[in-house]
Amino acid sequence: MKGLLTATTVSLMLAASPLAIAQVQTPPSPNAQVQTPPSPNAQAPSAQRAPAGETSVPKTPVAGQIVVQDANTVLAKQDLIGQTVHAPDKAKIGSISDLILSKDGKGVEGFVIGVGGFLGIGEKSVALKIDRLKMSSGPDNVVQLSMDVTKEELTNTPAFKSTRDQASEKAAEQRRSETPAQRPTPGSK
């Protein structure tokens, strides 16, 4: 019995030794990229696994889908909104804060630029037609924005009022007109 127990123990040790060796890791070299092995519970991406009995079908774009950005286009958030616009003399005019789209969503009518102020305090919004904005490719293909007006010219123009701003002003005016012109002062009758 003792011999059988010893033989079983030795057999298990020999069988488990490759697993123990597989668990030993050599330290990575300083220039090596570190990759985290997937966890045993991790799901494979759906593109990599197919249900049993089915083959993987290539993905097909839907009608009107843009898969790759065209070289002659810009992304509003990445290339326009928040970007600085410069005057012809390279002076900073302001930053684009919004785009004005047509109601049907098929065209960009204009853009809103914040001018004046300091650190956003006292800044006013001015809207201009999109054709006033000149876009060029700068170093590293970064979009450079410029206009043919100066900051001072835009500072002296009326501020832009969105439809929401206009509705707020109209509602405030209605509230003012509904309140009596003179309110009785406390203590007087």
**How confident is the model over 114-160, as pLDDT tens digits?**
998 777 678 899 999 999 999 988 888 788 999 999 999 998 999 99
pLDDT on residue 158: 92
Q: How confident is the model at residue 3 (pLDDT cuts 50, 70, 90)?
A: low
Sheet holding 92-101, edge to edge: 124-129, 108-115, 92-101, 84-86, 143-146, 134-137
* Domain presence at residue 36: no
Paired with 126 in beta bridges are: 113
CATH of the domain at 118: 2.30.30.240
Does the pLDDT at position 15 exceed 80? no
Task: Answer whether 110's CB lies under 8 Å from 131's CB.
Answer: no
Q: Tokens 């030794």 appear where?
A: 17
**Mean of pLDDT values over 99-108:** 91
Within a 10 A sphere around the Cβ of 94, how many other Cβ atoms?
22
* Domain presence at residue 64: no
Mean pLDDT of the chain: 75
* Model pTM score: 0.58
The structural domain count of the chain equals 1
- What is the spatial distance between Cα 169 and Cα 162, in angstroms, rounded to a whole number? 11
* Domain presence at residue 130: yes
In tens, the pLDDT along 42-90 reads: 554 544 555 566 678 888 888 888 888 887 777 888 888 999 999 999 9
Specify the pairing of strand 92-101 against strand 84-86: antiparallel
- Amino acid identity, position 98: D
Q: Tokens 């990229």 appear where?
A: 33
Helix (H, G, I), strand (E, B) or coil at 86: strand
* Domain presence at residue 122: yes
**Mean of pLDDT values over 14-26:** 48
> CA dist 134 to 31, 85, 185, Å?
44, 9, 58
Which domain, by its residues, includes 107?
Answer: 76-175
* Domain presence at residue 109: yes
- What is the spatial distance between Cα 55 and Cα 45, in angstroms, rounded to a whole number? 15
